[in-house]
């Protein structure tokens, strides 16, 4: 993990957001904007692909970890970092997804093994 951290104001905005917009750069093509669910756990930002590691946005991030997200209406450069299934933080991420999205149909998919395998920490770009 890098030494980069989110400001308290950024964490408050992110924690309160229903969705996070990923801005995926594509060589020679227009950026792709993709909304995803997010959680904040222990002052860190996490996203998962409920469809697992084969979904398009997840593969794009794995191929190029330096991408952007939208914070406060502006594109903000970030670094995506893989979180192994064995990392203890996954239990807290599971709980955070289940609590935050309790009334949503897809919430249970966010804690299934395929989604856990596709957990990413998002850090401010160094």
Please give the mean pLDDT across all residues of the chain.
94
Global confidence as pTM? 0.93
Q: What pLDDT shows up at residue 61?
A: 94
Q: What pLDDT shows up at residue 125?
A: 93
DSSP 101: T
In which residue are the tokens 């997200």 written? 69
126 residues of the chain, pLDDT tens digit each: 445 889 999 999 999 999 999 999 877 889 999 999 999 999 999 999 999 999 999 999 999 999 999 998 999 999 999 999 999 999 999 999 999 999 999 999 999 999 999 999 999 998
Q: What pLDDT shows up at residue 28?
A: 83
Q: What pLDDT shows up at residue 3?
A: 59
Which are the contacts of 17, defined by CB distance < 8 A and separation ≥ 6?
A: 38
Domain boundaries 8-124, corresponding CATH code: 2.30.110.10
Q: How far apart are the first and last CA of the chain?
A: 11
Alpha-helical segments (H) within the chain: 8-16, 56-63, 89-100, 113-116
pLDDT digits (tens, 9 = 90+) for 63-90: 999 999 999 899 999 999 999 999 999 9
* Boundaries of every domain in the chain: 8-124
């Amino acid at each position: 993990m890098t030494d980069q951290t989110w400001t308290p104001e950024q964490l408050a905005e992110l924690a309160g957001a229903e969705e996070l917009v990923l801005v995926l750069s594509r060589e020679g093509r227009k950026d792709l904007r993709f909304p995803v669910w997010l959680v904040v756990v222990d002052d860190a930002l996490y996203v998962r692909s409920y469809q697992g590691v084969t979904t398009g946005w997840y593969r794009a991030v794995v191929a190029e970890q330096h991408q952007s997200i939208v914070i406060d209406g502006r594109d903000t450069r970030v670094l995506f970092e893989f979180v192994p299934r064995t990392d203890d933080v996954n239990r807290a991420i599971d709980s955070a997804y289940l609590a935050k999205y309790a009334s949503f149909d897809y919430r249970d998919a966010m804690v299934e093994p395929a989604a856990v395998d596709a957990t990413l920490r998002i850090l401010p770009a160094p």
